[in-house]
Structure 1
């Protein structure tokens, strides 16, 4: 929490104190795990979810600021390489289709999305889909928001219940096969 959340909170606080007569753009980085936390990310996902909540609040409080949040999926980095060495197999199984993309590609996607005016930015389709299923009360500003809402509603009705049953089954099976060993 100290690094992921409090650093973001402190920077946002200092920017909020800045001169209010100019337009400001605050870009905050969270993670796709903020939208869908799962086994193996117990130390990481809660802080990223807190950042997602912070962004929602800042958008309400700092009305003359443009507040963007980036929810990157997996991208190739030194940290990702190290993470793969210790990541439990069950986490890799649930993560499934979210392959790591080159860092430069992630940066290009983020820069283009922000330049287009998107304020909820994803580096992969999986992140975009998960945000569509997160039909919370936060304002969303990204491409195809109406399509994302429709996708979210249909997914929450037709896909998510079956997916969650499958995930629960895989998690219980993994713990049985590993004698209850910790997943992280």
Structure 2
């Protein structure tokens, strides 16, 4: 349980406190040009992944924070961006991979890691455009469409794509989910036979 507390404290509560400290200044800025708040979530904040219980919980929480916050600050010309990167090639990720459960590596391997500078470039472009959901690769786009539901959407084109593709993306999401559960069941069945 300490790992859950740590992850929630860092990823969710820490983010909340930074926003709480900065928001009064952002709301009272002299120039009324658009301002941005960026929240760094994860693809594991769009879909739960084996071995990431605490991490996914903390990153899913950012979505609720971002959705509610966007409603509260839109009148102040402040845009919230929720960034959903895949595994990102950083020194911390390399260290994490050393202790990551083997089953997590298999499941997470369905989406390849991206270079950190590429993730940063995509994130900054999404923030500049005022996108709420900022995805970094094709898998992220699919997850975003499959999980969009009531997320803020400022692009009519993307809203149209979400509505039209929702059924198909839900079907694809079920395929991946069933595949992951099948992998988990086979993994543990094989361990029992040993």
Inter-partner Cα distance in structure 2 for 1:160 and 1:106:
23
Inter-partner Cα distance in structure 2 for 1:34 and 1:6:
15
| Equivalent residues, number | 178
Inter-partner Cα distance in structure 1 for 2:130 and 2:48:
27
TM-score, scaled to structure 1: 0.86
**Are residues 18 and 93 of structure 1, via their aligned partners in 2, closer, same or farther at CA, if it must alter by over 3 Å?**
same
Alignment partner of 1:40 is 2:40: no
Inter-partner Cα distance in structure 2 for 1:144 and 1:115:
17
Match of 1:116 in 2: 129
RMSD: 2.0
Are the aligned partners of 2:39 and 2:82 in contact in 1 as well (CA < 8 Å)? Answer: yes
Give 1 or 2: higher helix fraction. 2
1:110-138: CA deviation from partner (whole Å, max 9, x where unpaired) = 12222233231112111111010003222
2:172 to 140, 149, 159: 159
Alignment partner of 1:105 is 2:118: yes
2:27 is paired with a residue whose SS is: coil
List alignment gaps of at least 5 residues for structure 2.
1-7
TM-score, scaled to structure 2: 0.82
List alignment gaps of at least 5 residues for structure 1.
180-184
2:38 is paired with a residue whose SS is: strand
Match of 1:178 in 2: 191
Match of 2:17 in 1: 10
- Stretch of structure 1 that moved more, 162-171 or 130-139: 162-171
2:103 to 90, 112, 119: 90
Are the aligned partners of 1:67 and 1:119 in contact in 2 as well (CA < 8 Å)? Answer: yes
- Tell me which of the two structures has the higher relative contact order, counting C-alpha pairs closer than 8 angstroms and 6 or more residues apart: 1
